Structure formats: structure tokens, C-alpha cells
Amino acid sequence: MGIVPQGIKLIIIGCAALIAGILLFFWTKWIGLPLIILSLIFTLFSLFFFRDPVRDKIFAPGEIGAPGDGKIISISKEDYYDIVVIRIFLSIFNVHLQRAPIDGEVTDVDFHEGKFEIAYKPEAKDNQRNKIRIEGENGRFAEVEQIAGAIARRIACYVNKGDRIKVGDKIGMIYFGSQVALYLPADRVNILVRKGEKVRAGETVIGLWKRKG
């Protein structure tokens, strides 16, 4: 179990505050004790939230991986039914790293400022978001949209246009409760998951490419 780079600074701050609290405790427990408690809670939460578990599943040809950990809140067709969109809600208890759903090349990274609605509501589609387009072989493609929630205020993207990535590779992170949307060509995939199901990035097979695709 590792820690993502974005969390190391916060963990160091928490540990420093904890040490300061311990030192202050010997001078005045009324200041030291609250600082110890708060810094310990902060450090433990940071260790938990910014965890980076090992995900080493080898996907078979044609399998599409889940881009995020969490609960599927909707599966619908958009853009005149040409695109199927799978939306995943991430609570603060989920791993918040996003992973590539397919092999391919990053052909676009598109960031938009937006609102900060609660991530499991339909209105969240207009929140601050970052969409990563990955194009694979034979015209296959997938888009992963990182969507900030009411609490989340930062989206980290680990990839750039032109990068070559493999299914399961880390591509980004969203801070705190959030949503991840996966866009796929509706006529070229068979979706294997259902609304309400829990998925894990880099482990769950979310769909299969049809043979013709």
C-alpha cells in the first residue's frame, strides 16, 4: 500500500503538528492535548484518503476496466444514443485515484471550470471537470471525466496529450467526494455492470468490446 504524491505533504504537516503537540503537552496540556488529538486525526485521515493500493490485474484483450472506485449511479445513452455514459460516485471512503479503462494514446485533455454540486446528483455533470480522451486500436475510444463534488476543490491529472497508456495505469486523482464518468461508443461495447454495483479501478471489468469493434 503506497501513498499518492499529493498526500505526502499533508501527512508531513500532520506529523509535524503531532510532534509539536507532544512537546507542548509537557508545557501545558490544555494546548498540547487538543493539538495532539486533532493532528493525529488529520494524519490518520490523510494516510487513509491518499492511499494507493496495489492493483496489478492483467486485463484480457477486449476488456474495459473501471476508471474509478465507487458505486455506479447511472448508465445512460447520450448524444443521440451514440455514447453510453457510466457514472461512478466516489465517497470519501473510496480510493480516489483514476485509472485508464483501455490501452491507447491520450489524444485530448480538456479542463472546464464549473459548479460544485453534490457529486451524486444529476447537476454534478456541470461541476468543475476534466475529460481525458484515450484512443485505441480499430477506432476504439474511451473518455474519462473527472468531476469535482461539493467538497472536492481540486482535480489532478497525471497524463498529457500524446502519452501512451495501458489499461489500469494511473491517470489522475480527485480530492474528496467526487464523480467519475466513463464515455464509450454505445454500439461497440457490451456493458457488464449495473446501476448500484460497486466497482474498483484497475480491477473491475466494466465492459467488453464487441468483436466487430
Q: Interhelix angle for 29-49 vs 5-25, to 10°?
A: 160
Catalytically annotated residues: 178
The torsion angles phi and psi of 106, rounded to 5 degrees, stand at: -75, 115
**φ, ψ dihedrals at 115, nearest 5°:** -80, 180
Is residue 74 within 8 Å of residue 145, measured between CB atoms? no
> What residues does 112 pair with on adjacent strands?
129
Q: Write out the three cell numbers for 55.
A: 492493483
